[in-house]
């Protein structure tokens, strides 16, 4: 029996115009109301442009809002960036930080991840920090080394109290958008490694209370199997979070897994 509440987050990536975002989020609100999956935290992370409309569409539903990125300065001459107070203002409670697509395509470093994390925490946002290895890193036997690097440097200087306000998402890069899900055993092995590392960095009790999600080709068909693993506390869902039917089926599956 774990104390960690399951958290299912939808990362919409660069999909959905405002009308499409409103349609998807109001459809989710309607269906999830019927489902009454109160044992699952549900978070939607649309693009910046539709944050406010989605916030309004999910009002009074228990569904929570998150952003996909953040900049660490509160304000200033940083063209194109969005700050923590701005995300709070738009209604966000969560923010994804260090997604592999940002690391790969936008040269985001652990140092940047660490600064973003601190800014999010300072303003009361819950960061969802993404970590995970590429295929070549896995094939070279470097999975744990990469996880250690991402976790140690990403969470640098955070104390035990602060780290309790963080969600970690293990997303093996080779499983993202490829249809190639990690096996439940592979997810568990990596996530246990992360939790053991957190226990060393902080203490056992703190590590036991941090939620670690799995992400990478999560679908209604595989959510149950993955969530049954003891160190998998939820999922960060890309493609399958873009339709009401698939995302609701994932949440339904998650709500039925008892640990
Ligand atoms: P997919 O679910 O589309 O594989 O994406 C996973 C992901 O990157 C979530 O952040």
User: What CATH number should be reported for the domain holding residue 99?
Assistant: 3.20.20.70
**Predicted local distance difference test score (pLDDT) of residue 258:** 87
38, part of any domain:
yes
Instruction: Give, for all 259 residues of the chain, the pLDDT tens digit.
Output: 458 999 999 999 999 999 999 999 999 999 999 888 889 999 999 999 999 999 999 999 999 999 999 999 999 999 999 999 999 999 999 999 999 999 999 999 999 999 999 999 999 999 999 999 999 999 999 999 999 999 999 999 999 999 999 999 999 999 998 888 889 999 999 999 999 999 999 999 999 999 999 999 999 999 999 999 999 999 999 999 999 999 999 999 999 998 7
**Integer Cα distance of 13 and 177 in angstroms:** 11
210, part of any domain:
yes
Residues 6+ apart with CB under 8 A from 242: 10, 12, 15, 16, 24
78, part of any domain:
yes
153, part of any domain:
yes
**Predicted local distance difference test score (pLDDT) of residue 2:** 55
146, part of any domain:
yes
Looking at the structure of the chain, the number of domains it has is: 1
Spacing, Cα 76 to ligand 1 middle (Å): 32
Which of 36, 171, 205, 225 does the annotation list as catalytic? Answer: 171
Query: Residue 53 in 3-state DSSP?
Result: helix
Beta strands in the chain (DSSP E): 6-11, 40-45, 64-67, 94-97, 126-131, 167-170, 211-215, 234-237
The CB of 46 under 6 Å from ligand 1? The reply is: no
2, part of any domain:
no
3, part of any domain:
no
Q: Is 99 a catalytic residue?
A: yes
**Predicted local distance difference test score (pLDDT) of residue 183:** 94
CA atoms within 13 A on the CB side of 15: 14
**Predicted local distance difference test score (pLDDT) of residue 36:** 84
CA dihedral 102, 21, 175, 258 (to 10 degrees): 120
Query: Mutate which of 239, 246, 247 to test ligand 1's pocket (most atoms within 8 Å of Cβ)?
Result: 239
Boundaries of domain holding 235: 8-255
Q: Is 150 a catalytic residue?
A: no
28, part of any domain:
yes
């Amino acid at each position: 029996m774990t104390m960690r509440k399951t958290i299912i987050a939808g990362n919409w990536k660069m999909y959905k115009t405002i009308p499409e975002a409103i349609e998807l989020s109001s459809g989710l609100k309607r269906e999830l109301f019927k489902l009454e999956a109160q044992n699952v935290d549900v978070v939607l992370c649309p693009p910046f442009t539709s944050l406010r409309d989605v916030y309004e569409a999910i009002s009074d539903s228990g569904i929570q809002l998150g952003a996909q990125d953040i900049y660490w300065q509160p304000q200033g001459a940083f063209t194109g960036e969005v700050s923590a107070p701005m995300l709070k203002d738009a209604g966000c409670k969560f923010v994804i930080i260090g997604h592999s697509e940002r690391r790969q395509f936008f040269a985001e470093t652990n140092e940047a991840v660490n600064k973003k994390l601190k800014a999010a925490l300072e303003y009361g946002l819950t960061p969802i920090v993404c970590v995970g290895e590429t295929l070549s890193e896995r094939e070279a036997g470097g999975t744990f080394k990469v996880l250690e690097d991402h976790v140690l440097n990403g969470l640098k200087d955070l104390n035990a109290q602060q780290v309790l306000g963080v969600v970690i998402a293990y997303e093996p890069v080779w499983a993202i958008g490829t249809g190639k899900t990690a096996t439940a055993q592979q997810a568990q092995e990596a996530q246990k490694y992360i939790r053991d590392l957190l226990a060393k960095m902080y203490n056992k009790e703190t590590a036991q209370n941090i939620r670690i999600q799995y992400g990478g080709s999560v679908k209604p068909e595989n959510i149950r199997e993955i969530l049954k693993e003891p160190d998998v506390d939820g999922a960060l869902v890309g493609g399958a979070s873009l339709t009401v039917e698939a995302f609701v089926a994932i949440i339904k599956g998650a709500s039925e897994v008892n640990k």
